[in-house]
Amino acid sequence: MNALKIAATGMAAQQTRVDVISNNIANMSTTAYQPRVAEFADLIYQQHLTPGTVTSQTGTIAPAGVQIGMGVRPSTVSIEVVQGPLSATGGDLDLAIEGKGFFQIDLPSGETAYTRDGKFYQDAEGLIVNSDGYALSDNITIPSDARSISISLDGEVTAFFDNAAEGQQIGTITMTVFSNPKGLEALGGNLFRETSASGNPIVSEPGTEGVGTMRQGFLEDSGVDVVEEISELIEAQRGYELNSKIISAVDEMYAATTRIR
Amino acid sequence: MGDFSYIAISRQSGLMKEMSLVANNMANSDTVGYKRQGAIFAEHIAAIGSTNQSGSPEHSLSMGHLAAHSPDFGAGSMRPTGGSLDIAIEGEGFFMVNVDGQTQLTRAGNFMTDAEGRLINVDGNAVLDSAEGEIQIPIDAGEIFIAEDGSISANGVELGRIGVATADPQTLSRQGNNNYVAREGFAPSEFTLVRQGYLEDSNVDPMTEISRMIEVQRYYDAGQKIFDMEDDRIKQVISTIRQIS
């Protein structure tokens, strides 16, 4: 009954792929969304005749053997770390990261989450928070009498007051990088959490090597390429159909078997 | 059961196994670096009955059975991914990964770094350089550039070189997880080119697999017909004997 089960693993794998694609397409307008990709690996092999088995007294060996695979499994659904296109919004607290870094957000649980979504607001006290109201870990409070806010490429936040020509530095927005951003755990709400696979967060000054710079007045768009996703979807659908063809073919073979007199 | 049945059964069960191979190819039509398998049938001769004075059998029975798989190591198509640690091998050769202390070979080049900055594959196994050592990519390395000869550099600093090994495809044993064990060893290759930002797709061609699938199914049907004919023949023999007696 192998072939049936093998084809079923194939159908399940393609189903996973379709799930991943539909989530990507659903997030085609999500700020700073990083597309996910499903990748597969073959399952273990049943060694019917191990290659290298001795086949005669003179020491000849089976050159290839018979190894029958048990199908396929999704090996990873990894985060494609891409730089989404930037779109100008003009918002004072709209920040886009050009580079590999993440912003740090304090969750209500006390944990730190990471995001590339730079759509920030100020709450009643002037604290910089994300769209869920969670504070930016750098704990920057904008004075209520500030006329405007300027954020430099390297994250320095400067407030300008009514009469002064010179601004006053009120804090620095730092960024974090991970040695393996593919290993981050997605929490939803554009947030990620560190895992043992992602490595420890390395807090760095924006503008330093590998971290990237901050762009005020821009937001990073979703990294989803719709044309690519649609063609992937068609491929996944065809893959599903091919595996289902195997199922019906094997079904007919078994039907023939049960007719043996 | 007569000799006939053994012959037909070995043939039919071989076809079932071939169907499993086709199903496995099809299931892995999107597996990175997967190489399709074919099947080879061989004649299997079994001695039956008594032996003559020199010890060789007086009668023998020839059966067809599934003797070997024929791995097809043809190149799969290259898919651009843009990932800085997605690497495809052009031409022959394999990446080397360390699986529990053993060096295994793979064509799947979807690599990443782990928490310590080691270059690893999706199962967390270290990717090896040409001297079978691990490769370290510092987190603050910046933009990573992998040259065609496998050397990894960032900002002009060389960080290591991805090793490529060649082995006789016929001596490779499939382990699953896209990995192979080279039974008779492998040799580092200096001349193989790698491509950064690409992954090698499975080399399964759906058209070939579907036609194989139909072929196997038809052969199987034909085998069942022979069973029916043999059944009729035996029935007739029995009824003839009954009439005579």
- Judge if A199 and A235 occupy the same domain: no
- Judge if A133 and A212 occupy the same domain: yes
- Judge if A122 and A186 occupy the same domain: yes
pLDDT of residue A165 exceeding 70, the answer is: yes
Residues 6+ apart with CB under 8 A from A182: A76, A78, A79, A81, A197, A198, B112
In this prediction, residue B51 carries a pLDDT of: 66
CA B83 to chain centre: 27
How many CB atoms are closer than 10 A to CB A231?
Answer: 12
A177 close contact with B: CB closer than 8 A: yes
In this prediction, residue B1 carries a pLDDT of: 52
Task: Kindly report the nearest CA distance between residue A110 and chain B, in angstroms.
Answer: 23
pLDDT digits (tens, 9 = 90+) for A61-76: 666 677 888 999 999 8
- Judge if A47 and A116 occupy the same domain: no
Mean pLDDT of A163-176: 87
- Judge if A173 and A198 occupy the same domain: yes
Task: Kindly report the nearest CA distance between residue B236 and chain A, in angstroms.
Answer: 14
A261 and B231 within 8 Å at the Cβ level: the answer is yes
- Judge if A178 and A108 occupy the same domain: yes
In this prediction, residue A108 carries a pLDDT of: 92
- Judge if A251 and A193 occupy the same domain: no
Higher pLDDT, B216 or B66: B216
Q: Provide, as residue numbers in chain A, all residues whose Cβ is less than 8 Å from the Cβ of B144.
A: none
CA torsion angle B74 B77 B78 B79 (round to 10): -140
Kindly report the three-state secondary structure assignment for every residue of chain B: CCHHHHHHHHHHHHHHHHHHHHHHHHHCCCCCCCCCEEEEEEEEEEEEEEECCCCCEEEEEEEEEEEEEEECCCCCCEEECCCCCEEEEECCCEEEEEECCEEEEECCCECEECCCCEEECCCCCEEEECCCCECECCHHHCCCEECCCCEEEECCEEEEEECEEECCHHHEEEEECCEEEECCCCEECCCCEEEECEEECCCCCHHHHHHHHHHHHHHHHHHHHHHHHHHHHHHHHHHHHHHHC
Domain count, chain A: 2
Average pLDDT, chain B: 86
Q: What angle do CA A52, A56, A57 make, to 5 degrees?
A: 120
Backbone φ and ψ for B70, nearest 5 degrees, come out as -115, 105
- Judge if A74 and A105 occupy the same domain: no
pLDDT of residue B65 exceeding 80, the answer is: no
In this prediction, residue B204 carries a pLDDT of: 93
pLDDT digits (tens, 9 = 90+) for A4-55: 999 999 999 999 999 999 999 999 999 999 999 999 999 988 877 776 677 7
pLDDT of residue B186 exceeding 70, the answer is: yes
Q: How far is CA B164 from CA A75, B149, B192, B202, in A?
A: 23, 9, 7, 19
As to burial, measured by CB atoms within 10 angstroms (0-12 exposed, 13-18 middle, 19+ buried), residue B76 is: buried
In this prediction, residue A66 carries a pLDDT of: 77
User: Can you give the C-alpha Rg of chain A in angstroms?
Assistant: 27
Average pLDDT, chain A: 89
Task: Kindly report the nearest CA distance between residue B175 and chain A, in angstroms.
Answer: 6
In this prediction, residue B72 carries a pLDDT of: 86
Of A2, A39, A253, the CB nearest to B32: A39
Amino acid present at A235: E
B23 close contact with A: CB closer than 8 A: yes
- Percent of chain B topping pLDDT 70: 88
Q: Which of A119-133, B14-28, B64-78 has the lowest mean pLDDT?
A: B64-78
Interface of B with A in 145-174 (CB under 8 A): 155, 170-174
This complex has an ipTM of 0.79
pLDDT digits (tens, 9 = 90+) for A207-249: 876 788 999 999 999 999 999 999 999 999 999 999 999 999 9
- Judge if A118 and A189 occupy the same domain: yes
- Provide the 8-state DSSP code for A99: S
pLDDT digits (tens, 9 = 90+) for B2-58: 677 777 888 888 888 889 999 999 999 999 999 998 877 766 666 666 666 666 666
Domain parsing of chain B, residue ranges: 3-73+206-244, 78-200
Q: Which among A218, A186, A244 is positioned nearest to A24, based on CA atoms?
A: A186
Residue A37's H or E segment, with its range, is: strand A36-42
Query: Which residue reads 């060789």 in tokens?
Result: B56
The two structure tokens encoding residue A218: 């821009």
Residues 6+ apart with CB under 8 A from A155: A172, A173, A174, A175, A205, A206, A207, A214
Q: Provide, as residue numbers in chain A, all residues whose Cβ is less than 8 Å from the Cβ of B12.
A: 257
pLDDT of residue A58 exceeding 80, the answer is: no
In this prediction, residue A239 carries a pLDDT of: 93
pLDDT of residue B63 exceeding 60, the answer is: yes
- Judge if A77 and A96 occupy the same domain: no
Q: Which of A114-128, A159-173, B195-209 has the lowest mean pLDDT?
A: A159-173
Higher pLDDT, A12 or A205: A12
Higher pLDDT, B192 or B219: B219
- Judge if A26 and A94 occupy the same domain: no
Q: Are A96 and A31 in contact, with CB atoms under 8 Å apart?
A: no
- Judge if A135 and A201 occupy the same domain: yes
Nearest-by-CA chain B residue for A80? B83
Q: Which domain holds residue A29?
A: 3-81+225-258
Q: Provide, as residue numbers in chain A, all residues whose Cβ is less than 8 Å from the Cβ of B137.
A: 179
